[in-house]
């Protein structure tokens, strides 16, 4: 969240002059003191209210100007946030409604400059399924002091710019979980024996692990390709960022929920024991599908991006085509998707999940073709673009996928 807040704060010269260096610091200053006394600071985000998180327009928290109105001016906020993660952050970017201009975004510090605490009352910490290392709170604002950042009336686009970074980091995080769980599975099956052999040497377990390895590599390639796009502003990077950030967030985070369950099973009964690593990863995975926009909302965002900026879609598809044209299955899929994305908006919405899943798989296949060894790219394409690839992990065709080499690559010693 701190990372995602930086581009927004950079556009507020007065605020940036005060806190920019502290935001960029790589040290963690844990002291509970006003920002002026700290070497480094963290920022969180406050959008979600009881009556709705996906529909931020429904926000009811009110912001009243202290004196003048508009960007850079001080306001007092009254209302609540139903999810307010990392409440120990030094400030949060909070969406609230002004009487004059509607929704706006506010920088709301925990401490005021005069050394007193801001009027943010933590009501409770959530009792969550997992994600225990991140506390999530419910808060009330009672004339909490904040400064408007971004333009008046543009609260949603302002906070969504921050959310795009956090959506990217959800994909990176879920890719990391997949890889971490895969490494645990590899280590476990190398030493655990059943029926006279190590599990790793049992053909059916090899099919499961190879399938997981392909998925893990595809997720990582897509997440880091996107991360690289965030370093540039050329038309192609913009198209990847705008369309593929929500698409990747939808697909990779959702796959992580299913696959961490599968990887738990690799450990047998030991996987289901709560104080082990697999249970922790399994319980962590769903959070990335929900926060920063849940699955349907991500799919709708992909469709919105394509609807509002068809040129970006052309740019993205042209880029995908430059690699997909070298593979018959990918080329057929690309042409089919291009046609389907040109349907009426109602039909598009109903098919949102299917289209976004297919687009993401295509993008992963293209990136593997570009950057991974042939046996990984071909293994992914042969399995994911074949009707035989089933509903469960491990339904690979050993004639089509080079299981030995895929596993060898994943089993870095
Ligand atoms: C651990 C955790 C930490 C969080 N931390 C923060 C935080 O720090 N700051 C913050 O602001 N928020 C935070 N959130 C809140 C999170 O961002 C929201 O829960 C999320 O955006 C979904 O909003 P909601 O819970 O109100 O669900 P709702 O908006 O009620 O949505 C419920 C379901 O309906 C679907 N849906 C919504 N609209 C449509 C539509 N038009 N068509 C089809 N389906 C639709 C959604 O995809 C979802 O599946 C956190 C959540 C969690 C779980």
CATH code where residue 331 lies: 1.20.140.10
| 272/312 same-domain check | yes
| Tokens 């057929």, residue located | 332
Q: How far apart are CA 398 and CA 381, in angstroms?
A: 13
| 174/280 same-domain check | yes
Task: Extract the tokens encoding 291.
Answer: 């926060």
Q: Cβ distance 169 to 85 under 8 Å?
A: no
Share of the chain above pLDDT 90, in %: 95
Closest-lying ligand 1 atom to the alpha carbon of residue 54: 29
Task: Quick: pLDDT tens for 134-179.
Answer: 999 999 999 999 999 999 999 999 999 999 999 999 999 999 999 9
94, 125, 153 - which closes a domain: 153
Q: Phi and psi at residue 90, in whole multiples of 5°? A: -75, -25
| 149/163 same-domain check | no
pLDDT for 140: 98
Mean of pLDDT values over 309-322: 97
Q: How far apart are CA 321 and CA 335, in angstroms?
A: 9
| 241/366 same-domain check | yes
| 224/143 same-domain check | no
| 239/288 same-domain check | yes
Number of domains in the chain: 2
C-alpha of residue 290 to centroid of ligand 1, in Å: 6
- What pTM value is reported for the model? 0.96
| 141/214 same-domain check | no
Please list, residue by residue across 170-189, b when 16 or more beta carbons sit within 10 angstroms of its beta carbon and e when fewer do. Answer: bbbbbbbbbbbbbebbbebb
**Nearest alpha-carbon partner for 321 in 307, 309, 335:** 335
Closest-lying ligand 1 atom to the alpha carbon of residue 131: 1
C-alpha of residue 50 to centroid of ligand 1, in Å: 10
C-alpha of residue 12 to centroid of ligand 1, in Å: 28
pLDDT for 413: 57
CA-based angle 374:242:149, to the nearest 5?
A: 140
pLDDT at residue 406 above 80?
Answer: yes
pLDDT for 412: 73
pLDDT for 411: 81
Q: Tell me what the pLDDT averaged over the chain comes to.
A: 96
Instruction: Tell me which of 36-50, 122-136, 342-356 is least confident.
Output: 342-356
| 73/190 same-domain check | no
pLDDT for 346: 82
Range of the domain at 38: 2-153
| 141/204 same-domain check | no
129, 153, 177 - which closes a domain: 153
- What CATH number does residue 109 fall under? 2.40.110.20
pLDDT for 301: 96
CB 291 less than 6 A from any atom of ligand 1: yes
Q: How far apart are CA 171 and CA 227, in angstroms?
A: 10
Closest-lying ligand 1 atom to the alpha carbon of residue 47: 11
Q: How far apart are CA 241 and CA 292, in angstroms?
A: 16
pLDDT at residue 103 above 70?
Answer: yes
Rg (CA), the chain: 23
pLDDT at residue 104 above 90?
Answer: yes
| 302/337 same-domain check | yes
CB 84 less than 6 A from any atom of ligand 1: yes
Most distant pair of Cα atoms in the chain: their distance:
78
101, 124, 153 - which closes a domain: 153
| 121/254 same-domain check | no
| 188/132 same-domain check | no
């Amino acid at each position: 969240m701190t990372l995602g807040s930086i581009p927004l704060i950079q556009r507020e010269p007065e605020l940036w002059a005060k806190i920019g260096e502290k935001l960029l610091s790589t040290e963690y200053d844990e002291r509970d003191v006003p920002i002026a006394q700290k070497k480094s600071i963290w920022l969180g985000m406050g959008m979600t209210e009881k009556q709705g998180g996906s529909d931020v327009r429904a926000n009811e928290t009110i912001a009243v100007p202290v004196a003048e109105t508009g960007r850079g001016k001080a306001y007092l906020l009254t209302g609540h946030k139903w999810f307010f993660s990392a409440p120990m952050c030094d400030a949060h970017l909070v969406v609230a409604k002004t009487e004059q201009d509607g929704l706006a975004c506010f920088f709301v510090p925990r401490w005021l400059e005069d050394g007193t605490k801001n009027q943010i009352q933590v009501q409770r910490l959530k009792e969550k399924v997992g994600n225990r290392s991140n506390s999530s709170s419910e808060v009330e604002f009672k004339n909490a002091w904040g400064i408007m950042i971004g333009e008046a009336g543009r609260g949603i686009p302002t906070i969504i710019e921050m959310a795009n970074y956090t959506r990217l980091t959800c994909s990176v995080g879920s890719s990391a979980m997949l890889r971490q769980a895969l490494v645990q599975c590899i280590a476990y099956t190398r030493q655990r024996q059943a029926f006279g052999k190590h599990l790793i040497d049992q053909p059916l377990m090899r099919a499961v692990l190879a399938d997981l390895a392909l998925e893990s590599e595809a997720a990582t390639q897509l997440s880091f390709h996107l991360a690289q796009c965030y370093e540039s502003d050329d038309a192609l990077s913009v198209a990847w960022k705008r369309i593929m950030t929500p698409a990747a967030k939808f697909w990779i985070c959702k796959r992580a929920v299913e696959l961490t369950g599968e990887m738990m099973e690799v450990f047998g009964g030991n996987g289901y024991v709560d104080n082990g690593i697999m249970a922790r990863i399994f319980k962590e995975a769903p959070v990335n599908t929900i926060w920063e926009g849940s699955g349907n909302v991500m799919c709708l965002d992909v469709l919105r991006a394509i609807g509002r900026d068809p040129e970006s879609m052309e740019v993205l598809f042209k880029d995908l085509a430059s690699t997909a044209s070298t593979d018959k299955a990918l080329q057929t899929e690309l042409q089919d998707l291009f046609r389907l994305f040109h349907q009426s908006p109602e039909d598009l919405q109903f098919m949102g999940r299917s289209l976004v899943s297919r687009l993401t798989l295509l993008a992963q296949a293209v990136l593997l073709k570009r950057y991974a060894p042939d046996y990984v790219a071909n293994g992914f394409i042969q399995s994911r673009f074949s009707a035989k690839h089933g509903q469960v992990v491990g339904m690979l065709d050993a004639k089509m996928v080079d299981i030995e080499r895929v596993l060898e690559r994943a089993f870095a010693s």
